[in-house]
Amino acid sequence: MTRQNLDDEDRQLIDSIRLGERGLFQRIVEKYQTRIYNFGLKICPTAQDAEDMVQDSFINAFKYMKDFRFEMTFKNWLYVIASSVCHKMKRKSRFAPERELSLEEFMPSEKDRVKTEPPEWAMEPVDKLLSRELSEKIREAIAGLPTDYRLVLVLRDIEGFSTEETANILHITTANVKVRLHRARLFVRGTLKEYYENDPAR
């Protein structure tokens, strides 16, 4: 199904739910639970928190559906809700160090500047690189990001939203999305660099 078809289907479902067919909400849940749950696994500190987040998000979506005006697609609106539930959880439990990342900390060091070739891993196809261990490393790196950066990276690079959609979901400017995304990516890149440099045989 194309994106437009998916959005049209949502619109019909939502119209019917609002007209009283509450049972159709289950279709919405089935359609989006895997996406929202996996989003939660990347953003929340534990799998249990992710489960609670998913439940709260759908409860809120159901509750506030009457106020939803299609200013954005339903899917994007669901991510607005999920992101805000994540934010509230963050205030309750401080799981990742909340700090600002600066560009300077990721600038190439003098020793990097002497190298002439990009590392081998940068040249290999992804399917050749991907292993359970590497996936675990990437997950850890993302989990180590401050929440505001993690949200942007996950929405952009994993959930596939555009810069503008991400800005709307998080209620921040597109310039802010770009700044946070670049630093978050550099942060993850740093972890991967280290991973490969520590064991050149990888």
Select 8 or 26, whichever has its Cβ closest to other proteins. 26
Output the smallest distance, CB 95 to other proteins, in A: 19
Rounded CA-CA distance 27/31 in Å is: 6
Rounded CA-CA distance 190/202 in Å is: 16
Structure tokens at 197: 């440099």
Output the smallest distance, CB 159 to other proteins, in A: 10
Query: Given the rule CB under 8 A, which residues bind other proteins?
Result: 22-23, 25-26, 29, 33-34, 37-38, 41, 47, 51, 54-55, 58-59, 62-63, 103, 107-108, 112-113, 115-119, 121-124, 126, 129-130, 134-135, 138-139, 142, 153, 157-158, 160, 163, 178, 181-182, 185-186, 188-189, 192-193
Rounded CA-CA distance 58/17 in Å is: 14
Output the smallest distance, CB 84 to other proteins, in A: 18
Q: 69 — alpha (psi -120 to 50), left (phi > 0) or beta?
A: alpha
From residue 49, how far is each of 41, 89, 106, 108, 146 by CA, in Å? 8, 8, 31, 36, 17
Select 71 or 110, whichever has its Cβ closest to other proteins. 110
Output the smallest distance, CB 21 to other proteins, in A: 11
